[in-house]
Amino acid sequence: GRRVSHALKELGHEVLELDVDESLVPSLRKSRPDLVYIALHGKFGEDGTVQELLEIMDIPYTGPGVFASAMGFNKALSKEVFMRENIPTPPFFVLSEATFQEMGALHALQTVGEKLGYPLVVKPVAQGSALGVKMVPSEETLASAVLSALHYDERVLLEKYVSGTEVAVSILGNQELETLPLVETVPHSAFFDFDSRYTPGLTEYYCPARIDEEAARRAVEVACRTHRALGCLNVSRVDIIIDESGVPQVLELNISPGMTETSLLPMAASAAGMDFKDLVGRLVKLAMEKYS
pLDDT higher at 198 or 146: 146
CA distances to 215, 229, 250 from 86, rounded to whole Å, are 18, 10, 11
Provide the 3-class DSSP secondary structure of residue 5.
Answer: helix
For residues 95 and 155, give the distance between their C-alpha atoms in angstroms, rounded to a whole number.
6
Same structural domain for residues 240 and 100? no
Q: What percent of the chain has pLDDT over 70?
A: 92
Nearest to 199 by CA among 209, 212, 189: 189
For residues 24 and 10, give the distance between their C-alpha atoms in angstroms, rounded to a whole number.
24
Number of domains the chain is built from? 2
Please give the residue range of the domain that contains residue 134. Answer: 92-160
Cα end-to-end distance, the chain, whole Å: 26
| Residue 191: band (very low, low, confident or very high) from pLDDT cuts 50, 70, 90 | low
| Res. 198: pLDDT tops 50 | no
For residues 110 and 46, give the distance between their C-alpha atoms in angstroms, rounded to a whole number.
33
Q: Mean pLDDT of all residues in the chain?
A: 90
**For the whole model, what pTM was predicted?**
0.91
Per-residue pLDDT reduced to its tens digit, 46-98: 788 999 999 999 999 999 999 999 999 999 999 999 999 999 999 999 988 88
Same structural domain for residues 183 and 237? yes
Same structural domain for residues 85 and 214? yes
Q: In this predicted structure, which of 37-41, 43-47, 192-196, 246-250 has the lowest mean pLDDT?
A: 192-196
| Res. 160: pLDDT tops 90 | yes
Same structural domain for residues 57 and 141? no
Q: Are 246 and 216 in contact (CB under 8 A)?
A: no
| Residue 108: band (very low, low, confident or very high) from pLDDT cuts 50, 70, 90 | confident
Q: DSSP letter string over 16-63?
A: ----SSTTHHHHHHHH--S-B-----STTTSSSHHHHHHHHTT--BSS
The pLDDT value recorded for residue 46 is: 78
